[in-house]
């Protein structure tokens, strides 16, 4: 059975988005080394519509290929799925849209043998966490605090018991925390 991981970034005070969905704080001091390592060949990237629309504006561009070539190559060559009821079409190569029954789709994909990673996509993470479908939470904590924002796992309505399985500190001050269901 394949594994479903979440990769998200948060502030020290637990926000993954600031006011007005601002994530610029996470891109001021990125850790491209880990992002490049984490794009496993043959894996599937999962997005909600909002995150997909942000990603497609940058990663297929010449600027991305210049600024972060290893990440851009991994993002552009990966199979991608967007969970959306409203997105008309997916323009990024190797992308398909799943409009409903996302839990069923993820269960089916988990038996197909390809590991999957959700990037960002808070509402999708919340929905799949509620159904016990996430195998690992990779949280990159940035050394910044915001006065307001959207907390990570804000939509989870039941207790999630997790155990810390790995940590990693980066030169830029970011700290990666990896958790699995206990």
**Distance between CA atoms of 120 and 101, rounded to whole angstroms?**
20
- What top-level class would CATH report for the domain 4-181? alpha beta
What is the per-residue DSSP string for 14-65? SEEE-GGG--HHHHSS--HHHHHHH--TT-EEEEEHHHHHHHHHHTTSHHHH
Instruction: Please give the C-alpha separations between residue 110 and each of 4, 8, 115, 116, 168, in angstroms, as whole numbers.
Output: 7, 20, 7, 8, 27
Residue 30: what pLDDT? 61
Per residue in 101-152, pLDDT tens? Answer: 999 999 999 998 889 999 888 889 999 999 999 999 999 999 999 999 998 9
pLDDT at residue 68, as a whole number: 85
Q: How many CB atoms lie within 10 A of CB 119?
A: 24
Q: pLDDT band at residue 86, thresholds of 50, 70 and 90?
A: very high
Q: How confident is the model at residue 20 (pLDDT cuts 50, 70, 90)?
A: confident
Can you give the residue ranges of every domain in the chain? 4-181
Q: What is the pTM of this model?
A: 0.90
User: How far apart (Å, rounded) are the C-alpha atoms in residues 119 and 45?
Assistant: 7
Q: Over the stretch 47-70, which tens digit does the pLDDT of each residue have? A: 999 999 989 999 999 999 998 888
pLDDT at 34 over 80: no
Q: Is 27 helix (H, G, I), strand (E, B) or coil?
A: helix
Mean pLDDT throughout 2-19?
Answer: 92
Residue 7 bridge partners (DSSP):
119, 138
């Amino acid at each position: 059975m394949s594994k479903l991981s979440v990769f998200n970034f948060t502030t020290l005070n637990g926000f993954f988005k600031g006011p007005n969905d601002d994530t610029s704080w996470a891109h001021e001091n990125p850790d491209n080394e880990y992002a490049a390592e984490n794009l496993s060949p043959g894996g599937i990237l999962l997005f909600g519509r909002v995150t997909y629309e942000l990603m497609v504006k940058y990663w297929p561009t010449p600027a991305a290929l210049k600024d972060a070539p290893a990440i851009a190559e991994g993002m552009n060559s990966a199979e991608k799925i967007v969970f959306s009821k409203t997105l008309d079409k997916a323009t990024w190569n190797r992308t398909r849209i799943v409009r409903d029954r996302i839990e069923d789709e993820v269960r089916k994909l988990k038996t197909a043998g390809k590991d999957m990673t959700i990037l960002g996509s808070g509402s999708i993470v919340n929905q799949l966490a509620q159904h016990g479908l996430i195998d690992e939470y990779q949280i990159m904590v940035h050394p910044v605090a915001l006065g307001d924002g959207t907390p990570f796992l804000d939509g989870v309505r039941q207790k999630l018991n997790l155990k810390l399985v790995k940590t990693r500190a980066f030169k830029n001050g970011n700290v990666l925390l990896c958790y699995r269901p206990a």
